[in-house]
Amino acid sequence: MKNTKIGKRQILAIFVALLMMLSIIPVFLMGF
């Protein structure tokens, strides 16, 4: 458990990416 900062950053990055995906999918569906 040495790379705690990197792990937290990765989790944050994944969380942000998921939020982006969730916000983009409805717009994509509405567009089509």
Write down the domain spans for the chain.
Answer: 1-32
Model confidence over 10-31: pLDDT tens digits? 999 999 999 999 999 888 888 8
Amino acid letter, residue 10: Q
pLDDT of 31: 82
Q: What is the 3-state secondary structure (H, E, C) of the chain?
A: CCCHHHHHHHHHHHHHHHHHHHHHHHHHHHHC
Kindly report the pTM of this predicted structure. Answer: 0.55
Cα Rg of the chain, angstroms: 14
